[in-house]
């Protein structure tokens, strides 16, 4: 069986854990900064999901060391929280300048069919999306919704090698 590694990043520890629990059924390891779950895609592929909590002021993570093994990243922010997007922006700026890895930016919403547009999106200096980024909505506690995120990331990875 092949094993791939994916980082699930959020500035709110609960968001990364809820996402991982939704797709993996349980979190195998958890501490203050990192959590771990395993998602069996099929008999030939398993994905290890590493939940990493970041904050706006934190520059302590060594992205160069973390990124060596990661197939891709899922970055989660709360769509309706004005500060949430700002909290992940420095990480996204780093990825857009330094990474060629596939990244799915997930806007966590309460109502996936009718997400409101936050005021923050009308302000200048949002997230710059590069060609290896995809943006989508998700309900991180809904297994069907999180599986779509995983399928999107896997399809992005397949496009990259194809």
Q: Is-contact 52 59, C-beta < 8 A?
A: no
The whole-model pTM stands at 0.85
Q: Domain ranges in the chain? A: 2-161
The 10s digit of each residue's pLDDT in 88-125 is 887 787 777 766 788 999 999 987 776 666 655 555 56
- Is the domain spanning 2-161 CATH 3.40.50.300? The answer is yes
The residue that leads in pLDDT, 94 or 157, is 157
63 — pLDDT class (breaks 50, 70, 90): low
The 10s digit of each residue's pLDDT in 120-153 is 555 556 666 677 889 899 999 999 999 999 999 9
**Residue that the structure tokens 């994916």 belong to:** 6
In the prediction, which pLDDT does 89 show? 81
Alpha helices in the chain (DSSP H): 13-24, 63-67, 82-98, 143-161
User: 41: left (phi > 0), else alpha (psi -120 to 50), else beta?
Assistant: alpha
Share of the chain above pLDDT 90, in %: 34
In the prediction, which pLDDT does 25 show? 76
Phi, psi of 145, deg, nearest 5: -70, -40
């Amino acid at each position: 069986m092949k094993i791939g590694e994916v980082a699930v990043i959020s500035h709110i520890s609960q968001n990364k854990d809820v996402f991982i629990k939704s797709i993996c059924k349980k979190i195998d390891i958890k501490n203050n900064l990192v959590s771990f779950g395993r998602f069996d895609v099929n008999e030939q592929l398993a994905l290890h999901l590493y939940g990493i909590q970041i904050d706006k002021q934190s520059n302590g993570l060594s992205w160069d060391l973390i990124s060596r093994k990661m197939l891709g990243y899922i970055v989660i922010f709360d769509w309706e929280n004005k500060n949430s997007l700002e909290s992940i922006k420095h990480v996204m700026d780093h990825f857009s300048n330094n990474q060629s890895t596939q990244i799915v930016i997930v806007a966590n919403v309460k109502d996936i069919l009718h997400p409101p547009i936050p005021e923050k999106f009308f302000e200048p200096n949002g997230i710059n999306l590069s060609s290896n980024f995809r943006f989508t909505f998700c309900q991180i506690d809904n297994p069907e919704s999180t599986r779509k995120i995983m399928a999107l990331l896997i399809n992005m990875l397949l496009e990259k090698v194809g």
